[in-house]
Amino acid sequence: MSAASVADAQLAQKRRRNALDAWLRFLRYATVRAITLGLVVVVAVYLTVLIANMGGKVDQIRLAQIEEEIGLSFLGNPQVQMMSVEERAAYRDQLVQLEVKRLGLDQPLLVRSFRYLKQGLTLNLGRSEELSSDSGSRQVRYILLERLPATLLLWGTAQILLFFLALFTALFLSGRYGSIIDKIVVALAPTSAAPGWFYGIFFILIFAAVLGWLPFGGIVDAPVPDNRWEYALSVLRHLVLPTAAQFASGLFLLIYSWRTFFLIYSSEDYVEMARAKGLKRGAVERRYILRPTLPYIITNFALLLISVWTGGIILETVFNWPGLGRLLYSAIHLYDTPVIVGSTVLYAYLLAATVFLLDIIYALVDPRVRVGTEGRES
């Protein structure tokens, strides 16, 4: 074995070790982030429970429910009917006390709040007051989870499309500073002051009410198509307007701010250098402008996502989209407290998941976090 090949083998081994190291570091980073976010969620849910039960509002509702249930059970009970008024009241109080004890409502608020926290975290919020899931269940957890896919579908489609469309348009425009398209986009940026639902109302007015091209709302045609392809097509048609509404409210501002950022970076010396080397425009944009700015772009997008997640509640309501937001709207109108608290908790989970996902993507694109000394090529 020649000395050269031994050196090669050593180098290869070292690279492998480095790659492994980088992975381990990444894993450690991801785990630490997951644990931190987990703790953050616990605190957030605890706060939610406290807000929901500030001044014992939830307890009052539950107490009233117990009293009503016991009152109702008396109606069909001939033995109770025979009692005198005082006896009946005493019996009633006794039953209420038993039930209160059984549910632990007599414990101090602090103890109860931790129990509520556990119930909130596991979405084990018992039965809803009015709403039921499509499969007929009154369990809050089923009602919530049933709505989740629709929300994720609308949200995922809209935001992923929005991200890539804005990113590539911004890159494209940064190379054409001062052109007419660039000026139009800059002029249109203030339209982002209005939220998605606001544009949604207009889109429904124009494309559904006046032109009749697209459906007013909902997720699928009625009657529901049997054919799987027709079903998918119908869902797609229903997705167009809510997605477009989110685009209208987010796209131009994103393009504008990212384009500006790219512009700042494209005057850096190393970019000029790359251009001078004769690299193609696309290569310069991708390797020398996009790479170093991606972490900023992702942070920026994360903040946007967090601020618009809950805006989806009204968008879904306007478009009658059967997701979490629409559920929350129905729950408000029926004063269905368990569902309202449950949705809030689920939204907290969704926000945490979004933050975690973006943290991971951030770590993947930012070399400082990944800290694999030899970079991706190894």
Partner 1 sequence: MKQMAIFRYPTAIIGLLIIMGLFVLAGYALTQYTYDEAVALWRGDENTWAETPRNAIPKWLNMLQGNKLPETIKISTLENPDIKERIDYEYYAVVTTEMTFDYQYDAFPSELAVFYTSPTDGERPFVTAYWDTPDGRSIELEARSINPTQRVYLGMDQNLQKLYGNTPVEIGLFMDPNAETPTVLKGQYKLRLEGYLFDDVSDVDAKLVVYGKVHGWAGTDHRRRDMMVALLFGTPIALAFGFLAALGSTLTTFFISAVGAWYGRWVDALIQRITEVNMILPSLPILIMVGTLYSRNIWVILGVVILQGIFGGSVKTYRSIFLQTKSAPYIDAARVYGAGNARLIFRYMIPRIIPVLIPSFVTLIPTYVFLEASLALLGLGDPVLPTWGKLLQDAGENGALFRGYYYWIAQPAALLMLTGLGFAMVGFALDRIYNPRLRGQ
Residues interacting with partner 1, by CB under 8 A? 36-37, 40-41, 43-44, 47-48, 51-52, 54-55, 57-58, 177-178, 187, 189-195, 197-198, 201-202, 204-205, 209, 216, 260, 263-264, 267, 303, 306-307, 309-311, 313-314, 317-318, 328-329, 332-333, 335, 337, 340-341, 343-344, 347-348, 351-352, 355
Alpha-carbon distance 215 to 234, whole Å? 10
Q: Which is nearer to partner 1, 140 or 204 (CB)?
A: 204
Provide the minimum distance between the beta carbon of 370 and partner 1 in the complex, in angstroms, as a whole number. 22
Alpha-carbon distance 337 to 125, whole Å? 10
Alpha-carbon distance 157 to 146, whole Å? 19
Provide the minimum distance between the beta carbon of 127 and partner 1 in the complex, in angstroms, as a whole number. 18
Alpha-carbon distance 275 to 16, whole Å? 34
Copy the structure tokens of residue 167: 């990113």
Q: Are 120 and 49 spatial neighbours (Cβ–Cβ below 8 Å)?
A: yes
Alpha-carbon distance 219 to 223, whole Å? 12
Copy the structure tokens of residue 120: 């909130």
Amino acid residing at 192 = S
Q: Name the residue among 201, 144, 123 with its Cα closest to residue 326.
A: 144
Residues, the chain: 378
Q: Which is nearer to partner 1, 49 or 162 (CB)?
A: 49
Q: Which is nearer to partner 1, 24 or 43 (CB)?
A: 43
Q: Are 129 and 338 spatial neighbours (Cβ–Cβ below 8 Å)?
A: yes
Q: Which is nearer to partner 1, 155 or 197 (CB)?
A: 197
Provide the minimum distance between the beta carbon of 353 and partner 1 in the complex, in angstroms, as a whole number. 10
Q: Name the residue among 122, 120, 124, 106 with its Cα closest to residue 46.
A: 120
Backbone φ, ψ for residue 127 (5° rounding):
-95, 145
Provide the minimum distance between the beta carbon of 212 and partner 1 in the complex, in angstroms, as a whole number. 12
Q: Which is nearer to partner 1, 12 or 264 (CB)?
A: 264
Provide the minimum distance between the beta carbon of 100 and partner 1 in the complex, in angstroms, as a whole number. 21
Provide the minimum distance between the beta carbon of 345 and partner 1 in the complex, in angstroms, as a whole number. 9
Provide the minimum distance between the beta carbon of 144 and partner 1 in the complex, in angstroms, as a whole number. 12
Provide the minimum distance between the beta carbon of 66 and partner 1 in the complex, in angstroms, as a whole number. 19
Cβ-Cβ contacts under 8 Å for 121 (sequence gap 6 or more): 41, 42, 45, 345
Torsion angle of the four alpha carbons 124, 130, 133, 136, in this order, in degrees rounded to the nearest 10? 110
